[in-house]
A and B are shown apart, each in its own frame.
Chain A
Amino acid sequence: MIFLTLEHILTHISFSIVSIVITIHLMTLLIDETVGLYDSSEKGMIATFFCITGFLVTRWIHSGHFPLSDLYESLMFLSWSFSIIHMVPKIGNHKNHLSEITTPSAIFTQGFATSGLLTDMHQSAILVPALQSQWLMMHVSMMVLSYAALLCGSLLSIALLVITFRKNIENFSKSNHLLIGSFYFCEIQYVNKKSNVLRNTSFTFRNYHRHQLIQQLDHWSYRVISLGFIFLTIGILSGAVWANEAWGSYWNWDPKETWAFITWTIFAIYLHTRTNTKWQGANSAIVASMGFLIIWICYFGVNLLGIGLHSYGSFTF
């Protein structure tokens, strides 16, 4: 009971902090770049990171297994991964646009996880025999980390696309009402505002700024996707080794496996388009934004169907 209360408190704290961080981001965006506020948003993300870490550790202690056995836990872990990805470039002291992606992503995943949709899953479940393996830790954590990194990277690419083809946005943003769309929507709104800010600055600098922003986005989406690709490779391969231990075959063409492989292929295509200088920028960004959709199909879509060997994470509305 104490554990449950602790979990509740931690999720609430982290959720409110992320909300505050987002507000700060919007404020700095609308008003001006205030260094003090920016710093506090950074501190907020660190606090969020520790809260979610605390949540996962509590969960681990009182359930007795690695807290990645169902969708609720994996969403919380995804949120945690976003905060990690947010913090890693900060250590290297690189200024980039990742924080604008990671904070909304973290709040959305956390919001979805703690929302009423999945209340029956908040209770930590028992572990079915097939999941009782050390591989669980390696495979699932790598997969979720890779999802987080790839989502960040592809969102950066989407932002790039939006900035590049800003004229077509108005029609585009209206047609999005889905959950996945909400990510887009927030992104588009954000970028719109960003470009508005840019438009207000002097005209001569605008194109230069835009060009620089596009280059920055392009580069960081490439770096983050490469990192996510490493995690995805390790995740899929460790899953294959585990499957060979548990199910008797390292590859079963199970829907989840297949979609993970499709994701892998799409991001392999992305990395290949990067080798051609002609395709860098918009073309590779289109591939990455396709990857964004495919990750969601892989992460949620397959579970919605509840078919195949990976049906542990399935849920019903």
Chain B
Amino acid sequence: MEPLIPTKTLKRVSPKALLTKSPLLQSTFKCQRFFFNSHLHALPNRRIPSLKIDSKLKTSQDNKKKPITQKIILSEGAPPLSEDVAGNEETSAKSQNSSSPMPVLRFFKKIPRRFLALLSNLPLAIGEMFSIAALMALGTVIDQGEAPDFYFQKYPEDNPLLGFFTWRWVLGLGFDHMFSSPVFLGMLVLLAASLMACTYTTQIPLVKVARRWSFLHSVEAIRKQEYADSLPRASVQDLGIILMGAGYEVFLKGPCLYAFKGLAGRFAPIGVHLAMLLIMAGGTLSAAGSYRGSVTVPQGLNFIVGDVLRPNGFLSTPMSSFNTEVHINRFYMDYYDSGEVSQFHTDLSLFDLDGKEVLRKTISVNDPLRYGGVTIYQTDWSISALQIRKDDEGPFNLAVAPLKLNGDKKLFGTFLPVADSDSPNVKGISMLARDLQSIVLYDQEGKFAGVRRPNSKLPIEIDGIKIVIEDAIGSSGLDLKTDPGVPIVYAGFGALMLTTCISYLSHSQIWALQDGTTVVVGGKTNRAKVEFPEEMNRLLDRVPEIVDSSL
């Protein structure tokens, strides 16, 4: 078979051009020249002055960690040693995940290998993920958190769904609260165990293999790679420079070349797994150690943080900030021109035990208040009272009640009794409001009487009674929480995003061997299997052909 001969139309890439491109290289070269060791091979190509040379004597102890005794590194300001690159990767992955997995790993060493192998089994992990997905889907199909009666009626025993699914399944397996049911949580724990086992038994050994990079010394071994080609009348140094220009880390030893790119993509899946574990740990801490509470407070009133918060789990411990008293200075809304609500605001003041104001902030949806580990969110609102003057008497506060009509929109109403309020058939003026902007008034017969804005001071006369609506007093619905898991979960989120992105990188490795005047090139990659040959062909096309036979 005739080997493919790539076209060589490009002119020779001068190493000087490369040098002028990176001034950094010249400086490194100058200091590196000091460390030239006398016993090294003479460089076959003297035209490349940018070689950084590093050598180490092979000792038996060194053997395991550093299989390469001497290496000539063509480096363009990149990290010089592959070992270093790998080390950095690992430490950075560890530092992202602040809770180091090492104690876990040590713990795992005591568990029999067979159990570990079972856990790290890929089909098992896939099965776990499938069942978690199925359980979650079921959790959205079955209505959550209803009373048992609801399930008795919806999943009756005499008419089972699909022939078997009755309320006994729902309540027995805790599917009425799927996301805290033992089945679901058990699956999650199992998945976490699988993640750890897989990271330990499969992924970390993979790193050790990937870090042990080596030259291939035989043409056959290179030709066996997924991608293989040979370049007649070429020099391996030129190839090295071109690969370097394409972002590869290049290592040269005599006639052998080894280059790689995207090593991080090989390690990132480990980071993904660790980040998942971190998120799971943070989620557990959130579930076990948080406080939650919600409160609806009319404008002008106070509440104590600790009275509202209820512990969520056994790890919940009260904080000093629970003594803080919160005062609602003002609750108000912003409106669009069309009259729709655009935003809710609550002006809050926080007082410590001595009655000193420690913090004042106007919160709104998407802009919570944080103080001493407690976060206060704006989540809801209602109208607590209408302040009215009746025939210039008052002002009176009329308590407002929420009315539930069809639809989600809020409606509040109150009633001003007219005449004898003790009679069984009491009549009066009804007032309805959708928001704090306008109040609709109806007379004793229930007929529409008019609309008034609070603060407008404009009186309205209904059945001979003059009414002025002074103010509509809103109350702010606040959610309070403390969550010690959030920093851990956020760290996990950050790590997961980063490592998922890095996982997209394809780890490409290239070997080359100078065989006479021919350079044999072989390479493989783990992800971009179609793009890699294209890239290789493009790069190899740029390798200059040696015209004169002076070599």
Q: Which residues from B are CB-within-8-Å of A237?
A: 493, 496-497
Bound Cα distance from A222 to B506, whole angstroms = 12
Instruction: Mark each residue of chain B from 169 to 180: 1 if its CB lies under 8 Å from any CB of chain A, else 0.
Output: 000000000110
Task: Please name the residue on chain B nearest to A259 by beta carbon.
Answer: B140
Do the beta carbons of B504 and A227 come within 8 Å of each other? yes
- Shortest beta-carbon distance from B55 to chain A in Å: 38
Q: Which residues from A are CB-within-8-Å of B93?
A: none
Q: Which residues from B are CB-within-8-Å of A223?
A: 527-528, 530
Bound Cα distance from A229 to B479, whole angstroms = 33
Do the beta carbons of A130 and B366 come within 8 Å of each other? yes
Instruction: Give the most central of B139, B140, B344, B479: most A CB within 10 Å.
Output: B140
Do the beta carbons of A129 and B341 come within 8 Å of each other? yes
Task: Please name the residue on chain A nearest to B141 by beta carbon.
Answer: A255
Q: Which residues from B are CB-within-8-Å of A127?
A: 342
Do the beta carbons of B340 and A126 come within 8 Å of each other? yes
Given contacts A230-B501, A240-B493, A249-B481, contact A129 B140 (CB under 8 A): no
Given contacts A129-B344, A132-B342, A268-B129, contact A250 B486 (CB under 8 A): yes
Q: Which residues from A are CB-within-8-Å of B379?
A: 247-248
Does B368 make an interface contact (CB < 8 A)?
Answer: yes
Do the beta carbons of A94 and B368 come within 8 Å of each other? no
Instruction: Mark each residue of chain B from 487 to 508: 1 if its CB lies under 8 Å from any CB of chain A, else 0.
Output: 0011001001100110110000
Do the beta carbons of B531 and A94 come within 8 Å of each other? yes
- Shortest beta-carbon distance from A229 to chain B in Å: 7
Do the beta carbons of A269 and B342 come within 8 Å of each other? no
Do the beta carbons of A258 and B530 come within 8 Å of each other? no
Does A244 make an interface contact (CB < 8 A)?
Answer: yes
Bound Cα distance from A230 to B283, whole angstroms = 22
Instruction: Mark each residue of chain A from 293 to 315: 1 if its CB lies under 8 Å from any CB of chain B, else 0.
Output: 00000000010000000000000
Do the beta carbons of B139 and A253 come within 8 Å of each other? yes
Do the beta carbons of A132 and B343 come within 8 Å of each other? yes
Q: Which of B449-502 contact A (CB under 8 A)?
A: 479, 481, 483, 486, 489-490, 493, 496-497, 500-501
Bound Cα distance from A248 to B490, whole angstroms = 14
Q: Which of B522-537 contact A (CB under 8 A)?
A: 527-531, 534
| Candidates B140, B178, B336, B490; contact of A241 at CB < 8 Å | B490
Do the beta carbons of B343 and A129 come within 8 Å of each other? yes
Bound Cα distance from A262 to B137, whole angstroms = 7
- Shortest beta-carbon distance from A221 to chain B in Å: 11
- Shortest beta-carbon distance from A38 to chain B in Å: 19
Does B397 make an interface contact (CB < 8 A)?
Answer: no
Bound Cα distance from A158 to B380, whole angstroms = 46
Instruction: Mark each residue of chain A from 247 to 265: 1 if its CB lies under 8 Å from any CB of chain B, else 0.
Output: 1111101010011011001
Q: Which of B352-381 contact A (CB under 8 A)?
A: 364-368, 375, 377, 379
Does B122 make an interface contact (CB < 8 A)?
Answer: yes
Q: Which residues from B are CB-within-8-Å of A265?
A: 129-130, 132-133, 136
Does A81 make an interface contact (CB < 8 A)?
Answer: no
Does A5 make an interface contact (CB < 8 A)?
Answer: no
Do the beta carbons of A253 and B179 come within 8 Å of each other? yes
Task: Please name the residue on chain B nearest to A250 by beta carbon.
Answer: B489
Does A220 make an interface contact (CB < 8 A)?
Answer: yes
| Candidates A216, A226, A233, A266; contact of B497 at CB < 8 Å | A233
- Shortest beta-carbon distance from B272 to chain A in Å: 9
Given contacts A92-B531, A226-B504, A233-B497, contact A244 B341 (CB under 8 A): no
Number of A-B contacts (CB under 8 A): 114
Do the beta carbons of A216 and B530 come within 8 Å of each other? yes
Do the beta carbons of B342 and A219 come within 8 Å of each other? no
Q: Which residues from B are CB-within-8-Å of A92?
A: 531
Interface of A is mostly: helix
- Shortest beta-carbon distance from A93 to chain B in Å: 8
Instruction: Mark each residue of chain A from 144 to 182: 1 if its CB lies under 8 Å from any CB of chain B, else 0.
Output: 000000000000000000000000000000000000000
- Shortest beta-carbon distance from A149 to chain B in Å: 12
Do the beta carbons of B133 and A266 come within 8 Å of each other? yes
- Shortest beta-carbon distance from B143 to chain A in Å: 10
Instruction: Mark each residue of chain A from 98 to 134: 1 if its CB lies under 8 Å from any CB of chain B, else 0.
Output: 0000000000000000000000000000110110110
Task: Please name the residue on chain A nearest to B506 by beta carbon.
Answer: A223
Do the beta carbons of B365 and A129 come within 8 Å of each other? yes
Does A245 make an interface contact (CB < 8 A)?
Answer: yes
Do the beta carbons of A132 and B137 come within 8 Å of each other? no
The residues of A with any CB-CB pair to B shorter than 8 Å are: 92, 94, 96, 126-127, 129-130, 132-133, 135, 216, 219-220, 222-223, 226-227, 229-230, 233-234, 237, 240-242, 244-251, 253, 255, 258-259, 261-262, 265-266, 268-269, 272-273, 275-276, 302
The residues of B with any CB-CB pair to A shorter than 8 Å are: 122, 125-126, 129-130, 132-133, 136-137, 139-140, 144, 178-179, 283, 286, 292, 336, 338, 340-344, 364-368, 375, 377, 379, 479, 481, 483, 486, 489-490, 493, 496-497, 500-501, 503-504, 527-531, 534
- New contact pairs (15) apart from A129-B342, A219-B530, A272-B129, CB-CB < 8 Å: A129-B344, A129-B366, A130-B365, A130-B366, A132-B365, A216-B530, A229-B500, A234-B501, A242-B366, A250-B286, A258-B139, A261-B136, A262-B137, A266-B133, A302-B140
Q: Which 6 A-B pairs have the closest CB atoms?
A: A129-B365, A133-B366, A248-B377, A265-B133, A248-B479, A253-B179
**Can you sample 27 A-B contacts with CB below 8 Å?**
A94-B534, A96-B530, A129-B343, A129-B344, A227-B504, A230-B501, A230-B503, A233-B497, A234-B500, A234-B501, A237-B493, A241-B493, A245-B367, A246-B377, A247-B377, A247-B379, A248-B292, A250-B486, A251-B283, A253-B139, A259-B140, A261-B136, A262-B133, A265-B133, A269-B129, A272-B122, A276-B122
